[in-house]
Structure 1
Amino acid sequence: MVELIIPQRRRSLGGGLEIGRVLPFVKQKMVGPFIFFDHMGPLSLPKGISSTVDVRAHPHIGLSTVTYLFSGEMMHRDSLGYEQAINPREVNWMTAGKGITHSERFERARAIGDHLHGIQAWVALPFEYEEISPSFSHHADDDLPQWRANGIVGQLIAGSAYGLTANVKTLSPLFYAHLDMMTGAIAEIPDGYKERAIYIASGSVEVSGSRYGAGNMLILSASASSLRALEDSIVMLLGGEPVGPRYLYWNFVSSSEARIAQAVSDWQTGSMKLPDADDAEFIPLPEKQSIQP
């Protein structure tokens, strides 16, 4: 059964880029280690779009960012020197650890126009890994197991589920999967994890006899075992083992409030390296923020 419904809350990131914020939610801060979940688009980006729509350089600590697209292209650049375009059904996995900065830009859209639709999630790092050295990896094709059966095209983005394991380095038990479901298709929900959720990116599904539409995350009980597509739908399945409570302040995640304060100071004083191509352009610390446990 469904224990909680979390509707996306539309947010503008400026420059015409709008997202649907799902996690964190006041009644559900995390799902397993997933502490942040944004639905990007769907949004048409015309040729020649202003650079104000880009996500300028910004910092992270204590988490991994997971970028996954249904359509469109984004260009990732980070302070480790990586520059990597991400396309549909690929994964950019960036582990911030003790600190990293990156930008995400829409250079293809600027050149020829594009249609952006995807998900950005954050995975909180276990306590013993919060201060590891930052890293970045890109995954596609054989790294991400795919399957087709009974009206479903599935892809495992990270972790283990459906008897498969993605070749993406994770630091705690989790699963993250993308299902394209035809009308009437029935999908099993992975079990064996303490916390699980479904996010309906498009279409509508039935769980335990009730209908749920696009833009909703469903927090599941241990008894939930399957879902049925009521129309052609894009569904994300996610979950894992909890890593404990975390403080969240802007782009920083940590089990320590003092560590958050240090990261804030580091960003304000300019002591965190920016991506080489972004030295003159970055996002300043927002004025109105609060540290949330």
Structure 2
Amino acid sequence: MDPTHSIPLDAAGAAQLLKAADTARARAAAAVDHRTLARARFGLAGALFIYLSAFLLVFGNQTQDAVSGAGANGYAYTNVLLIPFLVFTQLMQGVQNRARVLRTHRRVLRFVLLGMIPFGIAGALSILDIRYPWGLNLLVAAAPAAPLLWLAGKSARRAGPPTPAVRTALSRPAATMTGALGLFFGVTGLLAAFSWFPVAGLGLALVLVALLTLWSSRWGLPSVGSEWSAPQWTGFAVSFMLLVTLAVVLARTPWNTPLVGVLGGVLVALPLVVAAVRGPRS
């Protein structure tokens, strides 16, 4: 029989195929861990809001000359803000794999992209030296985060009762990469206090590219994120916040000194390094 020849189906056969497809979709939906997914999406919404708020605080509503002279590094502080957020998006992929998410929410993604339009407008106003009330920065940052927050709430409503935690030690690659991320963030914050940070930023970008090339391996960030539980995510959240805060302090205050950078870098690295050696996963 010709393998390319299709066998016509009668109404009963077509109905049976549709029923089987519905059953498969229902099983896939039931397998999704909505509780883990809700936490991850709440975290993504918060990270996006914090990142955009900090970016606008550092660069928004001021002239290009003022930004260029900020802490002698100017727009190079973009790297300090962007690195932890890009790392977080990679870790999130692992959480989605762990939660068995098989599809993306394209409609929500479109709303997120639409929510970025006010961010672009705020940037254009700053370039044109058109001032606006600072409080608008918070609304601008909230616009793309709001759809993700709605999606997180949707997952939370679908979540079932909590299940008993199964505690397992992190694998060697995951523990090593967790500590390495802490050191990477710490070095990023430390170097940002020095006048030659724009040059060092190129090296940090290469390190980030190297991390991305490990995407599908056991050492890749998605694999690491799939193993993390409360201790690691808490450590990451603290390091994330400290690094973003350090960037704002260095860019917008007189405390842009090497001593502040060194102390801040140590504080940034510490939570993830500690989480790498002490936290089991659940």
TM bucket, shorter chain: under 0.3
Higher strand share: 1
TM-score by length of 1: 0.23
RCO greater where, 1 or 2, for CA within 8 Å and sep 6 or more? 2
Pair member with larger Rg? 2
Which protein is richer in helix relative to its size? 2
Give me the TM-score of the superposition, normalised by structure 2: 0.24
